[in-house]
Amino acid sequence: MAQETVTLLKEEFERMKQELELLKDSRIYQRLLEFEENISKGKKLSRKDLGF
């Protein structure tokens, strides 16, 4: 897989880091991590698990 180099302004990078920190504390992010963990374990998922 080829890697690309991306150039960001320092201010934009700092803003992105702050947004990521806020996201990490959110309930939806925690649910996403839980969902990914369940998928990686091969757990059979229901519609409720998927949020339907």
What string of pLDDT tens digits covers the 52 residues of the chain? 788 998 999 999 999 999 988 888 888 888 888 888 877 887 677 777 666 6
C-alpha 31: how far from its chain's center?
Answer: 10
- For the chain, how far is it from start to end, CA to CA, in angstroms? 34
**pLDDT the model gives residue 44:** 74
> How many residues are recorded in the chain?
52
